[in-house]
Structure 1
């Protein structure tokens, strides 16, 4: 089918492959870019999760210290 868009640094109508449901089949470069974007999103998600876990660890440490100040052993609770 015909696809209008930017490809190989040119904005033109291009002959492209489509599947039976009418979805454009991506070129190798387009697939690589899509995978790169997914990998970056996953990296960002993992970093956010790591930061959240660190915040929770710090919170738990503060609570444990407060219990110790009250002469309560947090490890026996």
Structure 2
């Protein structure tokens, strides 16, 4: 079923029906944000959710989504550091195999 959202703004003492933009979002000038309907899953419920987007059209993340992003970045950094450590170990082992003490190079 399609989700319908109607947005009204008080203008000159009357509520006026607002028109959505091409993305079916409504600009809320007082908040400098767009309001719209997002289809997706939150808290094990799939369906239509009211969401906010910034002026550039980027979806504002819920707290749990921000945590997921931070955790993903941290895991990527951990993997990068581990790869760097392994590369350093391989280089040091190679230098030793060539009769070079890596500690004397620094």
Q: TM-score range, shorter-chain basis?
A: 0.7 to 0.9
Partner residue in 2 for 1:28: 63
| CA RMSD, 1 decimal | 1.3
Matches of 2:58 and 2:75, distance apart in 1: 24
Distance apart, 1:61 and its partner CA: 0.4
Return the structure number with greater strand share: 2
Instruction: Give the unaligned 5+ runs of structure 2.
Output: 1-35
Residues paired across the two proteins, number: 66
Q: Deviations over 1:26-77 (max 9, x none)?
A: 0111000110011001001100100000000000001116xxxxxxxxx7xx
TM-score normalised according to structure 1 size: 0.81
Matches of 2:85 and 2:72, distance apart in 1: 20
Partner residue in 2 for 1:5: 40
Return the structure number with greater helix share: 1
Q: Secondary structure at the match of 2:58?
A: coil
Distance apart, 1:13 and its partner CA: 0.8
- After the TM superposition, which segments of 4 or more aligned residues of structure 1 sit over 6 Å from their partners? none
Partner residue in 2 for 1:14: 49
